[in-house]
Amino acid sequence: MSAKPRSQGKRGRIITEYKNKTAHSNITSPPILAVSPGSAEYHSPYGPLSPTTPGPNGGHAMFHYSQEFFYDLIPEYMSAVYPVEPIITESELQTYIQFMDRDPEVRSFLYSFAACTLNLTRYGDSRTEDVVRSIETLVNYSMDTFRPMFVHAKGSVMRAMQSMFLHNCLMTKQASDAAFYYMRDSISIIQLMRIDNKDSTASLSPIERARRQRLYWLAFIQERFVAILDYRQAILSPMDGLPEDDSSIPLSVHEGFNQIIKLFRLLDADFLQNWLGSQNPGTVASSWIEEKSRELEGNEQDSDGYGLAMLTTMQRADLAITREWLRTLVWRLAMSQALLSSRSQRECLSLLFPVRLSKNLRQQVAGMSRADIEVHGSNVQKLFEITDTIADVLIHVPAPSLEETGSRVDDFLFILDFVLLFPTLDQTRRGILLEKLERLQTMFPEVVSTTSSPNMPGGFDIQSPSTDPWYYATQSKMPEETGFGGMAPLPQMEQPWMGSGTNQQAAWNHISRRLSTVTLPQPI
């Protein structure tokens, strides 16, 4: 069988089909609030004001949300959004709100600000159907009133962030094409502002120059994430250095943002070329895999302990999950290139690396709240990728004992329970994880006696079905002892724990019962 590109597997097709089905959804507006008129003077960054734009449901969009509505969102924005997107300040928001009735462009921006703030701060039980509809309505208002770039128009930080806010909301809704459009729009504005040109920014104040540098890096991070998630090309190059020091922002925000930049800089041009390019074995050397793994380890070791100590639990959660996600990506590249071995002394080239990762991730996640993780919308997707990888290893790579199998299953189910309870996990990815869970459940049916089940010693059969994309990817690429497909079918493998006895049966049934107790909430 000829090798297939990783992005064209079953999971990729399922996600693509879901995107096509949900491309056109009906939006219902939430109750609307009366607006309060402003009074002070304000000069639009776009020049003369344009006429008020009709809203998506008729009438004029300017009459739908009051100033109080936007003011009330500022504290949540500053605590949850600003630390990871430290661009638009609190004082700017207050000024924008004060003059929103006189400037349609500012009002259009505020719709995106409100949508993004609600999107990142309403999680768990607070993410009700009304909230979801409100986010969708605000996104539609912002897009409907988005002023195009005219002949003599210039880019602005506000315009770039409006597109970035819209991108964030659309990513959560799995509207990847529209999200990509607005991310590229934001990047276009940033390039018009020539932020990466030192001569162009030399006349700016140190605070404004640092802010624009953070804006550039924010776009770089978002674009790299989308390049990996949706297999798209990236056009932004990294800047020469980290953002300059800025006394106007909290030190914890500055440090946390710099740490995330350092991680995403590891997704360099070579990484993206390897990820997006040909998946034929031999295109990526094991030495490159080992070097990239060392860079990830070095990034963790080189982090300033004092600097990390000042970070919030939300920031530390983002760093920890991002680092483990990157390690998973490197391992998956090694898997696709037939570089894995059960005998490798290098952890990054070991078949069992995701098993170790699951233990480490469980220890870290146990100390995090769901709020700390879900406030970063991208973390839910990163955890999905990690959990899906761990599931495939459990299915394809046997453990030397039932005790070890039980330990692996416990670690996996802890993370799976955590991920499935996120309401922002879309139904397609939720379904993918549940399919893997069902596979494991069929591998470990509960038995009354060792002779009553064909799946106990003598009849052990958990070979991959022909519909499994990982089975095809590995069977077609990996020689013996280099990956899942290189192993002999599990029914023919000798297992140290394939003996009979009451203890073995009890251990087996414990695994079976654990696999049947996963919480399956209904997504919104």
Q: How far apart are the first and last CA of the chain?
A: 40
Query: Exposed/middle/buried for 506, CB within 10 Å: 0-12, 13-18, 19+?
Result: exposed
Percent share of the chain, pLDDT over 70: 73
User: In whole angstroms, what separates CA 11 from the centre of its chain?
Assistant: 16
Query: Which pLDDT belongs to residue 132?
Result: 92
Predicted confidence (pLDDT) at residue 471 exceeds the cutoff of 90: no
Tokens representing residue 55 in the block: 């809203």
Predicted confidence (pLDDT) at residue 454 exceeds the cutoff of 60: no
Tell me which residue of 147, 114, 141 sits closest to 46, measured CA to CA. Answer: 147
Predicted confidence (pLDDT) at residue 278 exceeds the cutoff of 60: no
Query: Which pLDDT belongs to residue 355?
Result: 84
Query: Which pLDDT belongs to residue 93?
Result: 97
Amino acid at residue number 502: T
- CA–CA separation, 13 and 412 (whole Å): 25
- CA–CA separation, 97 and 38 (whole Å): 8
What's the predicted TM-score (pTM) here?
0.78
Give the tens place of pLDDT for each residue, 236-247: 999 999 999 999
Query: Which pLDDT belongs to residue 113?
Result: 98
Percent share of the chain, pLDDT over 90: 38
Query: Which pLDDT belongs to residue 325?
Result: 92
Give the tens place of pLDDT for each residue, 7-44: 444 555 554 554 555 444 443 333 333 333 333 333 44
What residues contact 262, with CB distance under 8 A and at least 6 apart? 242, 299
Tokens representing residue 206 in the block: 């140190």
- CA–CA separation, 360 and 396 (whole Å): 21
Torsion, Cα 325 331 335 336, to 10 degrees, reads: 60
Task: Give the mean model confidence (pLDDT) for residues 381-409.
Answer: 87
Report the DSSP beta bridge partners of residue 60: 54
Is the Cβ–Cβ distance between 14 and 428 less than 8 Å? yes
Predicted confidence (pLDDT) at residue 423 exceeds the cutoff of 50: yes
**Percent helix / strand / coil, the chain, rounded to 5:** 60, 0, 40
Calculate the alpha carbon distances from 12 to 15, 22, 60, 135, 431 in Å: 5, 16, 41, 27, 13
Task: Give the mean model confidence (pLDDT) for residues 179-192.
Answer: 96
Q: 178-213 burial, b for 16+ CB within 10 Å, e for fewer?
A: bbbebbbbbbbbbbebebbeeeebeeeeeeebbbbb
Give the tens place of pLDDT for each residue, 327-344: 999 999 888 888 887 777
Calculate the alpha carbon distances from 334 to 384, 414, 484, 485 in Å: 19, 26, 12, 14
